[in-house]
Amino acid sequence: MIVNNKTAMMLMFAGVCFLCGSPVTAQPATGQEPAASSKSGQGASDQDIQLLRKDIRSQKKQLIAANLNLTDAEAMKFWPVYDQYQAEYTKIGDAKLALIKEYAQNWGTVTDEQALDYLKRSEEINESVIQLRKKYVPLVNQVLPGKKTATFFQLERRIEMLIDVQVASEIPLVQRQGQ
């Protein structure tokens, strides 16, 4: 994947802001409670988060365009399918963001039952992403040849993994609350 370091770093930073936007920050070394937007008043506003998410979607599209060598004819057919895919993916991102916000709001008082519920819902969100990809593989393959279809989903997954790693590194482990 051809990505310059500046673009990769911006994408990773934006990814953290995309989902966390400061509602939950990394667990401090002292074991103090992480910042939550609803508790500290220092978190990013919903409007800020939405703007960051829009920027990420734009950067993501630019990365895909730069790395997926499409002919003009392929591009005319692909980008409408991509936009439809991205609209559905954004809805899944909304669910992920809502779960992170809920976790942040309850940080410090999360019960065993809530922890298991968060885990279950997180896995359901992950499964939704997998199902979305499965749904779109044949749709993308209707407008692109097999190698380009596979390349698109490779790029998509790599970008998603970069963002997921950054987000995960900012969310404290549930067991650490109260330490």
Q: Is the model's pLDDT at 6 over the cut of 60?
A: no
Highest mean pLDDT of the ranges 36-40, 46-50, 64-68: 64-68
pLDDT at residue number 68: 95
pLDDT at residue number 43: 56
pLDDT at residue number 26: 36
- The CA-to-CA distance between both ends of the chain, in Å, stands at 41
What are the start-end ranges of the H helices in 68-111?
A: 72-106
pLDDT at residue number 93: 92
Q: Is the model's pLDDT at 40 over the cut of 60?
A: no
- Of 66 and 170, the structure prediction assigns the larger pLDDT to 66
| CB burial string 124-137: b at 16+ within 10 A, e below | eeeebbeeebeebe
pLDDT at residue number 134: 98
Q: What's the mean pLDDT when you consider all of the chain? A: 80
Highest mean pLDDT of the ranges 2-6, 95-99, 175-179: 95-99
Per-residue pLDDT tens digits for 94-114: 999 999 999 988 988 999 999
DSSP 126-146: HHHHHHHHHHHHHHHHHHS-H
pTM: 0.74
For 159, residues 6+ apart whose C-beta sits below 8 A from its C-beta are: 11, 60, 63, 64
pLDDT at residue number 179: 60
For 124, residues 6+ apart whose C-beta sits below 8 A from its C-beta are: none
- What residue spans define the domains of the chain? 5-176
pLDDT at residue number 50: 80
Structure confidence at residue 16 as a pLDDT band (50, 70, 90): very low
Per-residue pLDDT tens digits for 135-146: 999 999 999 999
Q: What is the DSSP letter of 68?
A: S
